[in-house]
A and B are shown apart, each in its own frame.
Chain A
Amino acid sequence: MKDRFLEAVKITGAERAIFENPEIAHLMAVSNRILSARTVDGLEFRADETEDGISAVVVLKRGVKLPHPVHICFGVLQRRGLQNIKMDVTLEPDSKASFIAHCVFPEAEKVRHIMDARITVMDGADMHYREVHFHGFKGGAYVNPRALVQIMPAGSYITEFTLTHGRVGELEIDYDVESDREAMVEMIVRVFGHGMDRIKVKERVCLKGAGARSLIKTRIALEDNAHAEVTGITEGHAPGARGHVDCMEIVKDRAEASAVPIVNVTHPEAKVTHEAAIGSVDRQQMETLMARGLTPEEAVEVIVEGILR
């Protein structure tokens, strides 16, 4: 099973050598079974198998700065199945780490994956969380990543979610971030929907502390009959709080996209801006590439690949 899983996560960029390297922490779990786990100095890692998934508690100790990213692999290899993940991650003050989550459901016909994460980035800590998904080609995955994130003063949190190969199935992202004084948040989502894929993204940032900053960036491309709905909520409640929402959705064929930016500012010295561009590929971009000899189809591919990168 481990071999099959290692093969499957390759598509998300996870090479076998990562899991053999004693200096790189990792957790690998298929359905509700932990296949392998390793921790490194300064990183407390406890993972348990539950009835229908995994429950993990991760603590990065004060001041520890991990030189290598921590790799977390989740997946269901069968056509049908359920994986319920509970994750509790804390970065203690002034620590720093990056995490790469690889989530694969290569055969999904009726697979549910639910991730409930609680993340605390303490004072001055710095967390980069990258999540790369692959849901196979049958469109039978339902994936629901939820995260409640708290960023304490001067903390920094960057999260990137990428699902650009194969089908999506049904995706429902729900992130909620509260950030304190001088904290920095960046949330980036990149998804390419095909067939009957359904995509829902809801991201909320609440800038509670003075000087807190945030960027919500969404890049979605849709073709066939795919559908996407993006809600970006930014609240600015403190002096010097700065938020920006930047949403771009490119639609082809009969696909449909919508974006709902919600801005709520309650302090006169806070400022939140948003921009949303939804529609077909920009005409001048198309014509520029065609003027270099690309066919219209090739031009669309280059543009879409670029925005999803």
Chain B
Amino acid sequence: MELLRLENIYFSIDSAEILRGIDLSISPSEVHALLGTNGTGKSTLAYLIMGCRNYKPTAGRIIFEGRDITDLPIHERARLGITLAWQEPARFEGITVKEYIRIAGKDSEPSEYLRMVGLHPELYLERMVDRSLSGGERKRIELASVLAMRPKLAILDEPDSGIDMLSTDDIIDVLRAFKTQGSSVLLITHREEIALCADRASQLCRGRIFITGTPEVVTEAYKSRACLVCDGITCEENLP
């Protein structure tokens, strides 16, 4: 059985239609890459799956492990095993990295998760998750926290942005760690070499899934920019 199924999801803000009939499914332990140019609706889709406030589909259903979760609040979705790492993670005053990771995984060993994301525990455990962390450090700590939760589905919104090119391997290691612990990942990314580590991939174009397939086929389609010329309705015709 699939873990997550999105059925014909529509979403508008004011009068602007941002998602226009999304169908997508993710299997247990699958890493599914989601590609798409800026502003196509990737983060919006992530907020919808997580159930953020003001992000309720205008039509369509979100099915998780066979259950309709379209109306559940965030924390109930989280308790079913869904979590999200924001594209720009929030900063928290007065909360140490160690405490922050323990919020996600009560009995977790924070050091272990810091090592998985390429950070030295001695240097970070007692640091605050506040503005004193660099952008890349904060993003890595977010990944550690999501790993510590051992979710069934982790939605990672551009975990690679702001992380130096040399550390692509670190991200790939993190994806492996998710797989090893049996978590599925919806991986939003712009980087081909990272998308290629996924099991499957989809490309989003102007609020629609343009193509779903192997990462090789989808990254080719993405690079060929086939979709940039489409009107979002006749996408399929522009397939390479």
A288 with B90, Cβ < 8 A, contacts A293-B79, A293-B149 known: yes
A218 to chain B, nearest CB (A): 13
A292 with B92, Cβ < 8 A, contacts A283-B53, A287-B52, A287-B74 known: no
Query: What total count of A-B pairs have CB within 8 Å?
Result: 58
Interface size class of B (residues with CB under 8 A): 20 to 34
B159 to chain A, nearest CB (A): 15
Complex: how many Å from CA A264 to CA B187? 50
* B-contacting 9-mer, from A97-105, A174-182, A266-274, A300-308: A300-308
Are the CB atoms of B94 and A294 closer together than 8 Å? Answer: no
Complex: how many Å from CA A287 to CA B82? 13
Interface size class of A (residues with CB under 8 A): 20 to 34
List, in ascending order, chain B residues with CB within 8 A of A4's CB. Answer: none
Q: Please tell me which one of the listed residues B50, B78, B94 contacts residue A306 in the complex, with CB atoms under 8 A apart.
A: B94
- A284 CB–B CB distance under 8 Å: yes
Complex: how many Å from CA A308 to CA B94? 7
Q: Please tell me which one of the listed residues B78, B93, B94, B95 contacts residue A291 in the complex, with CB atoms under 8 A apart.
A: B78
Best-surrounded residue of A287, A292, A295, A308 (most CB of chain B within 10 A):
A292
Are the CB atoms of B145 and A306 closer together than 8 Å? Answer: no
- A290 CB–B CB distance under 8 Å: yes
- A279 CB–B CB distance under 8 Å: no
Are the CB atoms of B103 and A294 closer together than 8 Å? Answer: yes
Are the CB atoms of B89 and A288 closer together than 8 Å? Answer: yes
Within 8 A of A (CB), among B75-98: 75, 77-79, 82-84, 86, 89-90, 92-95
- B135 CB–A CB distance under 8 Å: no
List, in ascending order, chain A residues with CB within 8 A of B3's CB. Answer: none
List, in ascending order, chain B residues with CB within 8 A of A305's CB. Answer: 94
Secondary structure class of chain A's binding surface, majority of residues: helix
A287 with B83, Cβ < 8 A, contacts A293-B78, A308-B94 known: no
A290 with B92, Cβ < 8 A, contacts A283-B53, A284-B86, A302-B103 known: no
Interface 0/1 of B35-65, CB less than 8 Å to A: 0000000000000001011000000000000
Closest to A248 in B: B93
A306 with B75, Cβ < 8 A, contacts A285-B90, A292-B145 known: no
Complex: how many Å from CA A282 to CA B130? 14
List, in ascending order, chain A residues with CB within 8 A of B79's CB. Answer: 293
Q: Please tell me which one of the listed residues B75, B145, B149 contacts residue A296 in the complex, with CB atoms under 8 A apart.
A: B75
Q: Which residues of B are interface residues toward A (Cβ below 8 A)?
A: 50, 52-53, 73-75, 77-79, 82-84, 86, 89-90, 92-95, 103-104, 145, 149
**Chain A to chain B contacts (Cβ below 8 Å), 11 pairs:** A285-B92, A289-B103, A291-B74, A291-B82, A293-B75, A295-B75, A302-B95, A306-B92, A307-B93, A307-B94, A308-B94
